[in-house]
Amino acid sequence: MAFALVTGAAKGIGKALAAGLAARNYDLLLVDIDKPQLRATAAELAAQYRVIAFTLHLDLSEPDAIERLQEWTAEFHDQLSVVVSNAGYGLNGAFETLTLEEQLNIIDVNIRAQVSISHKYIPVLRAHRKAYLLNLGSTTAYQSVPYLNIYAASKAFAVSFTRGLRYELRNSSVSVSCLSPGSTDTDFVNRARMGASIRKTAERFNMTPEKVAAIALKGLFAGKAEILPGWHNKLNAFLPKFFPKRLVEKIAGGIYQPAAHTAITEVPLATIPKATANLPA
């Protein structure tokens, strides 16, 4: 019996990754902030794949979250050979109009939790003859993205951190990979409070979570360093290297600029509503 731990597992890419692992006969340790959806997902996957699926309702931005997570998984460490650090989110808006608390919370979930999970679970994974750690990046990691600034920067951290960690563990039993999806048909756009125009742009290139997860797990078990699902996401990641950064930033800023931002010099910042749109991780 082997277990896989997946954070952000209630829906979207996390749920699809959990399903893909269940299809490979992994029992599941599923974590998410959305308790009702998490329980529904666990019940669905357990019934569909005839696996065990345990759940933990947890907000990874809380200071004691990782300690609580490790306490919960402790009894499964002898069987835990896959860890997927999938939880993450972003908010669309100008840096100065989003609250500091909102932006630090993104850093807590996207960076602090990912680093903490890696640090706490690498010793657990090392104890196995073969084990896997998958961290979530994004195609936004490969360029600056105005109005999605903290999210993109956090994903750039994820890619760099994961590659460095992979090298450090190159002679161990732990294979470390980073999944960098682009626009995906998930709830990311809604949670990021993106507007309708951004949503339309995203929908033209959306991949399904199931397709992303299938490519991700194939790459993970093949030992790939970076996994970029879909040819258009590969282009999005690597084309910016061949153009001036100012041009790339102008294009990205044009895509993600909230409509309300046009009023920023005419009214007090406090009165400007935040954008209401979301893109897939």
Among the options 26, 147, 151, 256, which is catalytic? 151
At 36, list the tokens: 């009702």
Angle at 192 between CA 70 and CA 254, to 5 degrees: 135
Q: Please choose, from the candidates 219, 245, 270, the residue with its C-alpha nearest in 3D space to the C-alpha of residue 142.
A: 245
CA distance 43 to 64: 27
CB 51 within 8 A of CB 28: yes
CB 28 within 8 A of CB 41: no
CA distance 147 to 93: 5
Element containing residue 38 per DSSP (H, E): helix 35-49
CA distance 229 to 60: 26
- How many residues in the chain? 281
User: What does the CA dihedral 17, 22, 27, 33 come to, rounded to 10 degrees?
Assistant: 30
Q: Is 151 a catalytic residue?
A: yes
At 23, list the tokens: 């299809």
- Residue by residue, DSSP assigns 131-198 as EEEEEE--GGGGS--TTSHHHHHHHHHHHHHHHHHHHHTTTSSEEEEEE---SBSSSHHHHTT--HHH
Catalytic residues: 151
